[in-house]
Amino acid sequence: MLKIVSGDITKISVDAIVNAANTSLLGGGGVDGAIHRAAGPELLAECRMLHGCKTGQAKITKGYRLPAKYVIHTPGPVWNGGSRGEEELLKSCYESCLKLAAERGCRTVAFPSISTGIYRFPLEKASAVAVRTILSFCQSHPEIEEVQMVCFDERTKGFYDSALQKENILHIEF
């Protein structure tokens, strides 16, 4: 099941939250900074041992002081006009995170809106890719019981709500 919610991802009690990281995995602004502040310095210490992560891939750590058991770090693509494989890379972020979550036995996962902040990915496109990818992964992996998209502002939530509505309509028609 996919739920679109408003809130702060650092406060969500799920098996794994996803961090919209950068390729260094050494912290940054936006949701990345908030997750590191809330998890405490042990998170950065574990991240240092991972030696970075490529765009579209994912790596997992413990959640330390967060209510979530794990953090899955994924560097999203920077939007460069759309002709540099940005949509495929964003899809790969969601898939890589869900795959890691399933391998670790996670049943509940929460995502932020990857790439739509500092990385400037247009929300309409990003929300369609996110919703479609999550729904299709969960169909073939029933062990993932619930995925939450945690929107930090109402504008973002509006886009994810309509992306989910569109997917639901498509599924009824086919």
Tokens coding 51: 């030696």
Residue labelled with tokens 């330390």: 64
Q: Does 96 bind ligand ADP (CB under 6 A)?
A: no
Q: Mark the segment that binds ligand ADP (CB under 6 A) among 8-16, 41-49, 83-91, 133-141.
A: 8-16
Residues 19-58 touching ligand ADP, rule: CB under 6 A, are 20, 30-32, 34
1, 6, 8, 143: which one contacts ligand ADP (CB under 6 A)? 8
Taking the complex as a whole, the smallest distance from the CB of residue 117 to ligand ADP amounts, in Å, to: 2
- Find out whether 1 and 145 touch, Cβ atoms under 8 Å: yes
Residue 43: in which H helix or E strand, if any?
A: helix 41-48
Q: Does 152 bind ligand ADP (CB under 6 A)?
A: yes
Taking the complex as a whole, the smallest distance from the CB of residue 142 to ligand ADP amounts, in Å, to: 26
Q: What is the DSSP letter of 20?
A: E
Q: What is the DSSP letter of 10?
A: G
Tokens coding 117: 């902040």
- Find out whether 64 and 37 touch, Cβ atoms under 8 Å: no
The residues that touch ligand ADP, with contacts defined as CB under 6 A, are 8-10, 20, 30-32, 34, 76, 112-119, 150, 152-153, 156
